[in-house]
Amino acid sequence: MSLPHALLTALLERPSAGLELARRFERSIGFFWHATHQQIYRELRRLEQAGGVEALPAEDGRGRKKVYRVLPAGREELRRWVEESQDPRPLRDALMLRLRAEAIVGPTSLPAEIRRHLVLHRQRLALYEEIDARDFPPEKTSRQARLRRLVLQAGIEHERRWIAWCEQALALFEELEQAGDQD
């Protein structure tokens, strides 16, 4: 996924000013595609120069707050990208590499870091479950709502899997410590 496509998606959901878009991004798309405010503004300028979006005149006439909307070329680019074939990405997580290194240079304090990750994943899961309960009541069955919820459910399952893995890793560390296994 690329930032321009994330921005086109968000703008098709609702035309927005850059700051509003950045705030919305932090509360939704940003859970699975992070971008800084500077990256968002830079990409909006690029999309505007490429003819994918346009800045509407400011409502207050001062010209400071640009509200962006997607143009037909931007919509077509998003459609092209959605239909594009893409292989799954391999796992690339520094914690996995640190665990491999711990196997060689340990014991280390890595279990404390895994406990910290466990807390963070539990917090993220609680947030996702709160969003699910708030934003997707049973009566919300439109195509758009169901597909958005599917993305959220992937996040929920992702967090549950990380929680299970952290618990498994911590149990193994405890077992190894009790056994005095150092190799």
pLDDT averaged over every residue in the chain: 90
Coil, helix or strand at residue 80: helix
Judgement on whether residues 55 and 112 belong to the same structural domain of the protein: no
CB 3 within 8 A of CB 43: yes
The domain boundary, picked from 52, 83, 114, lies at 83
pLDDT by residue, tens only, the chain of 183 residues: 589 999 999 999 999 988 888 888 888 887 888 888 899 999 999 999 999 999 987 666 555 678 999 999 999 999 999 999 998 888 889 999 999 999 999 899 999 999 999 999 999 999 999 999 999 988 878 999 999 999 999 999 999 999 999 999 999 999 999 998 655
Judgement on whether residues 72 and 104 belong to the same structural domain of the protein: no
The verdict on residue 88 lying in a domain is no
The 10s digit of each residue's pLDDT in 12-33 is 999 998 888 888 888 888 788 8
Judgement on whether residues 173 and 111 belong to the same structural domain of the protein: yes
The verdict on residue 68 lying in a domain is yes
The verdict on residue 89 lying in a domain is no
Q: From CA 182, how far away is CA 106, in angstroms rounded?
A: 8
The 10s digit of each residue's pLDDT in 106-121 is 899 999 999 999 999 9
Alpha carbon 179 to its chain centroid, in Å, reads 39
State residue 163's pLDDT score: 98
Judgement on whether residues 98 and 175 belong to the same structural domain of the protein: yes
Report which residue type is found at 177: E
Report residue 40 as tokens. 């968002």
Domain limits for position 55: 3-83
Angle at 128 between CA 124 and CA 134, to 5 degrees: 145
Total-model pTM:
0.82
**CATH code assigned at 43:** 1.10.10.10
Q: Give the burial class of 127: count Cβ atoms within 10 A of its Cβ; 0-12 exposed, 13-18 middle, 19 or more buried.
A: middle
Per the structure, how many domains does the chain have?
Answer: 2
The verdict on residue 134 lying in a domain is yes
User: Residue 54 — φ and ψ, nearest 5°?
Assistant: -135, 150
The domain boundary, picked from 63, 83, 103, lies at 83
